[in-house]
Amino acid sequence: MQRDDVRHLDRLARRLDQLGPVAVLDPLAGNLLGGGQAAGLGNPARWAVTSASGSSDLILYGGDYGEHVPNTVSVEAIPPSNGPDLFFQHPTWTGYPVAPGTAVTWWVPGLLAAGAALSQLRIEWYDVANSLLSAAATNTPLVPMVHTVPAGAAYARPAVRFSAKGMWVMGESVLALGDVSAALLAGDRPTGEGCPSYSITRYSHAAMAGDGAFRDIGLELVEVSGP
């Protein structure tokens, strides 16, 4: 491992900048959303509502009765300006961890299959201090949104915006690393694998034999169940 990478991991492992927890992005993960969230099931706290005229413009029904109960989205009112927006929440951070310069794909095929009146797919970008940097949106929700993570962004907070009143079963949603739009349009529906937070519980490092410019690093991670 190169020296700059070693220094970065060393600071994380020794908690020099923050206490943690840390994020680990798996490039092979098919869906960063949690299992229940990706399927539209369970606790409504996995989502959040924002609207120009109040959160009562959109209500989730069903999931509070059990982890395997589908949620129904009920849009009660459409404000004259923006919203209502339904945000997909990460259980620990402001949004889902991302890396600047990489692509992410965002789509809600379940709501579309249910006939939901959607006007936009949206992603808000936040920095590591949880400050909003910018937002991206597409007015063509029938196809997946693919966007490059902007410089300085640490978290992506995906959302959908509704354009008419109605009730629809939420169904499947996908937030994935890279451009997987072709696979999604072909019918792929990856199960939510989640992007959990971790605590580093063991750390070791040693110089590689024969070349002091490189080091071997060992980290042991334990998933954190809460913030």
Ordered alpha helix ranges (H), the chain: 3-13, 35-39, 109-113, 181-185
Nearest CA to 55 among 80, 89, 83, 91?
A: 83
| Residue 227: pLDDT over 50 | no
| Residue 210: pLDDT over 80 | no
Out of 2.60.120, 1.10.472, 3.40.630, 2.60.40, the CATH code matching 29-193 is: 2.60.120
Average pLDDT for 143-164:
96
| Residue 1: pLDDT over 70 | no
Nearest-angstrom CA–CA distance, 5 and 111: 41
Q: Which pLDDT band, with edges at 50, 70 and 90, does 11 fall under? A: confident
Nearest CA to 180 among 52, 24, 31?
A: 31
Tens of pLDDT along 73-114? 999 988 877 779 999 999 989 999 999 999 999 999 999 999
What does the mean pLDDT of the chain come to? 89
Query: Do strands 132-138 and 118-126 pair parallel, antiparallel, or not at all (unpaired)?
Result: antiparallel
Average pLDDT for 56-68:
90
Residue 23: per-residue pLDDT: 81
At position 201, the amino acid (one-letter code) is T
Kindly list the domain boundaries of the chain, sorted by start residue: 1-25+195-227, 29-193
Look-up of token digits 């300085």 = 152
